[in-house]
Structure 1
Amino acid sequence: MSPFILTLLYFIAAVVIVVIGLVIFELVTTKYKDWEEIKKGNSAVALSIGGKIIGICIILAFSIYTNDSIPQTVLWGGYGVVLQLVAYYLFDFLTRRFTVEMELKNGNVSVGIVSMCVSIGLAFVVGASIT
């Protein structure tokens, strides 16, 4: 298959996985609408969502580097979404003194930064395990 066609197919797969992942995150984790908060200028939510997007894409990139097929990449991408969700709940569990969701909704940028770092950091760990 042409590298141009293959790149387009990987691109489409990645966009679909990221969009599905973000929809799942919004349905399962938040008591507010992510994009409404971002529209209002909530930097904390933007950082958290940005970290999730980057985290999923890092996992997809490692998968593309090491696998020969789009279906394998889609499978790893789905697995990455699940693991990002686990990471979010783990982060929320470990911060017993406050609720991550409420702090993000209230615009606590510090929590947004840590949330972003958790997503990106663990994506590298998951990605490295793919190789």
Structure 2
Amino acid sequence: MQKSGFWSNPLVETAGYFSVVVLCIIVTMVLFELVTKYNNWEQIKKGNIAVALATGGKIFGVANIFHYSISRHNSLPEMIGWGFFGFTLLVFAYILFEFLTPKFNVDKEIEADNRSVGFISLTISVGLSFVIGASIS
């Protein structure tokens, strides 16, 4: 059955998905703010490159997961649900990264502008977003 009408217009669909995903990214960034021990936006304002790298990786990772979710699901609720499931896996990966580095505290290193830790955090978020996205069914 072919869609018709205002809501099936590609421009309207794109604007709708864009709006929903931007809102979801804002929500996920608020949730990441609660997970980290530092204030992301305050640290970025101060010029903390490590926090900017880690935060940018999270934003890219969440957007990439939603990219896969949009491309695989026809309904908005399904897309949002799978996107948030993917986000949950990304948060789990962040917590796992902290757990697997017992010799240093990831949050403290990123807050101290340790750019190598910030870059690894970015890489984990981006890399796993492709794995999570590919597995979204």
Tell me which interval the TM-score lies in, with the shorter structure as reference length.
Answer: over 0.9
Match for residue 40 of structure 2 among 34, 41, 47: 34
Other-structure match for 2:83: 77
SS at match of 2:113: coil
- Residues 1:24 and 2:26 are matched in the alignment: no
Q: What is the CA–CA distance in structure 2 between the aligned matches of 1:47 and 1:80, rounded to whole Å?
A: 20
Residues 50 and 119, structure 2, Cα contact 8 Å, conserved in 1: yes
2:11 maps to a residue whose letter is F
Corresponding residue number in structure 2 for 1:11:
18
Query: 2:105 maps to which residue?
Result: 99
Query: For each residue in 1:86-123, what CA deviation from the matched residue of structure 2 results, as whole angstroms up to 9, or x when unmatched?
Result: 01000000111000000000000000000001111111
The total of aligned residue pairs comes to 130
SS of match in other structure, 2:38: coil
User: CA offset at residue 31 of structure 1?
Assistant: 2.1
TM-score of the pair, normalised by structure 2: 0.92
Larger Rg: 2
Q: Say yes or no: does 1:43 pair with 2:49.
A: yes
RMSD between superposed Cα atoms in Å: 0.9
Is the contact made by 1:44 and 1:110 (CA closer than 8 Å) also made in structure 2? yes
Kept in 2: contact 1:44–1:113 (CA 8 A): yes
Tell me, which stretches of 5 or more residues in structure 1 are unaligned?
none
Q: TM-score, normalised by structure 1?
A: 0.96
Aligned equivalents of 1:35 and 1:62: distance in 2?
27
1:13-58: CA deviation from partner (whole Å, max 9, x where unpaired): 110111000101111x222211000000000000001001100111
